[in-house]
Amino acid sequence: TQLLEQSPQFLSIQEGENLTVYCNSSSVFSSLQWYRQEPGEGPVLLVTVVTGGEVKKLKRLTFQFGDARKDSSLHITAAQPGDTGLYLCAGRGQNFVFGPGTRLSVLP
């Protein structure tokens, strides 16, 4: 069974700080997606990464797919309270699996 681990599980930071959250697996994924989920709502896609080593930027968010396509990171620069939420990674391997998420809280 392919599993995705995410760290940290919880993160609370002050507005303006930078942060990185991680998504790791021992398995190779053909693609990996990052989502943000608000309570009681469906996941909303942020980015899809496909190529090992790929880096994608979305405003203050930078996503990287590991060279071996087993891991990924999400870096947020100058975090804002609006970034608060649950960040999920999900990967396509044998099946489509989600990580447990990192719950981010950005305090004003």
Partner 1 sequence: EPEVTQTPSHQVTQMGQEVILRCVPISNHLYFYWYRQILGQKVEFLVSFYNNEISEKSEIFDDQFSVERPDGSNFTLKIRSTKLEDSAMYFCASSGWSWGTDTQYFGPGTRLTVL
Residues that bind partner 1 (CB under 8 A): 30-31, 33, 35, 37, 40-45, 48, 50, 88, 90, 92, 95-101
Q: Which is nearer to partner 1, 33 or 72 (by Cβ)? A: 33
Question: Least distance in Å: CB of 17 to partner 1?
Answer: 26
Smaller CB separation from partner 1, 20 or 43: 43
List Cβ neighbours of 57 (8 Å cut-off, separation of 6 or more): 63
Tokens of 14: 């002050």
Shortest distance (Å) from residue 73 CB to partner 1 = 19
| Backbone φ/ψ region at 12: left (φ over 0), alpha (ψ -120 to 50), beta | beta
- Round to whole Å and give the CA distance between 41 and 49: 23
Considering the complex, what minimum distance in angstroms separates the CB of residue 4 from partner 1? 9
